[in-house]
């Protein structure tokens, strides 16, 4: 018996063999449902509220609102950004604080994730939940709490704006660092680590040559989840530094509250370009899309 005899008829064949009556009924229907049509509303929604707004901010970034209310082409926002030292300063401070916060979160979060994921050190799964739990308590409330406790201990935006802001940022983003690192650590190849130590590597060498390279995707996605959000944060820097530190988020918020749509759009566009650049730079490390709480539930 050849295998071709066992083959199931495919859809065209089925249709060919159907009685003519059924086909006639099908043809009469003006609109026949196909599963792929279900993507229509979703696609239209994305087009209207993701693609179109980005197009609009590009338009606003390179135009100017005249007194009559019409938009005319202009480079004012661009020139304004590159000639105002305070605005360039914001970019530098944001980059600096973003990098610093990413590093601190990784330095604290990496060992925590490693210890939590390794059966040798920890067998308690509820501990992992405890680390993620602050994410479910309103973050503005947590930020306020952090500020109040810090100022109770004598560190406030008035005397140590940078210290207070850094502490607030680390508090806020540490759970987001631990989660992707933890999910990567769970998938570490145990036999490779064992092989490394069997072949004579000491603990440090095993760590550097086997564990760290294996956890690079986790490190990259953790960094991705901290760096950009830190640069564009508004609440944390505004609350903890009492308005003394201006990050990208703060300046866009300021533009928003003063209805400066053209300047605001230009700043948002720069932020968008930074996002695209960082995405492009980390693209090759991204093996799976288990980002931002993907493994949370």
Residue 91 or residue 267: which is nearer to another protein going by CB? 267
Choose one: 84-92, 121-129, 158-166, 179-187; the region binding another protein (CB under 8 A): 121-129
Contact present, 173 and 229 (Cβ < 8 Å): yes
Contact present, 233 and 165 (Cβ < 8 Å): no
Burial of 71 (0-12, 13-18, 19+ CB in 10 A): middle
- Interface pick for another protein out of 16, 17, 21, 69 (rule CB under 8 A): 69
Choose one: 47-55, 83-91, 181-189, 206-214; the region binding another protein (CB under 8 A): 47-55
9-11-15 Cα angle (round to 5): 100
Contact present, 94 and 247 (Cβ < 8 Å): yes
Q: Which of residues 268-297 bind another protein (CB under 8 A)?
A: 268, 271-272, 275, 279, 289, 291-294, 296-297
- Interface pick for another protein out of 75, 139, 207, 285 (rule CB under 8 A): 139
Q: Which of residues 249-268 bind another protein (CB under 8 A)?
A: 249, 252-253, 255-256, 261, 264-265, 267-268
- Interface pick for another protein out of 235, 244, 254, 285 (rule CB under 8 A): 235
We find the least distance from the C-beta atom of residue 95 to another protein, in angstroms, to be 14
Q: Which helix (DSSP H) or strand (DSSP E) does residue 65 occupy?
A: strand 63-65
- Interface pick for another protein out of 129, 190, 191, 204 (rule CB under 8 A): 129
Choose one: 21-29, 72-80, 128-136, 207-215; the region binding another protein (CB under 8 A): 128-136
- Interface pick for another protein out of 13, 23, 148, 189 (rule CB under 8 A): 148
Burial of 110 (0-12, 13-18, 19+ CB in 10 A): buried
Q: What is d(CA 246, CA 67) in angstroms, rounded to the nearest whole number?
A: 30
Contact present, 239 and 143 (Cβ < 8 Å): yes
* Residue 80 interacting with another protein (CB under 8 A): no
Contact present, 169 and 100 (Cβ < 8 Å): no
Q: Any bridge partners for residue 72, and if so which?
A: 64
Stretch 185-224: interaction string toward another protein, x if CB under 8 A: -------------xxx-----------------------x
């Amino acid at each position: 018996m050849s295998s071709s005899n066992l083959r199931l008829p495919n859809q065209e064949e089925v249709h060919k063999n159907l009685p003519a009556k059924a086909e006639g009924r099908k043809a009469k229907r003006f609109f026949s449902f196909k599963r792929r049509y279900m993507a229509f509303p979703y696609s239209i929604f994305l087009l209207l509220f993701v693609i179109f707004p980005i197009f609009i901010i590009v338009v606003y970034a390179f135009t100017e609102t005249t007194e009559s209310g019409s938009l005319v082409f202009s480079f004012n926002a661009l020139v304004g950004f590159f000639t105002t030292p305070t605005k360039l300063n914001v970019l530098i401070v944001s980059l600096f604080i973003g990098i610093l916060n990413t590093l601190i979160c990784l330095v604290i979060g990496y060992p925590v994730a490693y210890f939590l994921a390794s059966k040798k050190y920890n067998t308690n799964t509820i501990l992992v939940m405890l680390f993620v739990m602050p994410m479910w308590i309103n973050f503005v409330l947590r930020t306020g709490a952090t500020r109040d406790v810090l100022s109770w201990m004598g560190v406030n935006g008035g005397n140590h704006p940078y210290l207070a802001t850094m502490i607030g940022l680390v508090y806020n983003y540490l759970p987001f660092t631990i989660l992707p690192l933890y999910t990567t650590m769970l998938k570490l190849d145990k036999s490779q680590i064992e092989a490394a130590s069997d072949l004579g590597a000491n603990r440090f060498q095993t760590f550097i040559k086997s564990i760290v390279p294996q956890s690079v995707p986790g490190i990259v996605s953790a960094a991705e989840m901290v760096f950009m959000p830190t640069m564009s944060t508004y609440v944390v820097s505004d609350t903890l530094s009492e308005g003394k530190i201006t990050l990208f988020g703060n300046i866009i918020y300021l533009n928003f509250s003063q209805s400066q749509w053209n300047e605001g759009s230009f700043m948002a566009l720069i932020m968008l370009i930074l996002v695209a650049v960082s995405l492009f730079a980390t693209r090759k490390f991204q093996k799976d899309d288990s980002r931002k709480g993907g493994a949370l539930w």
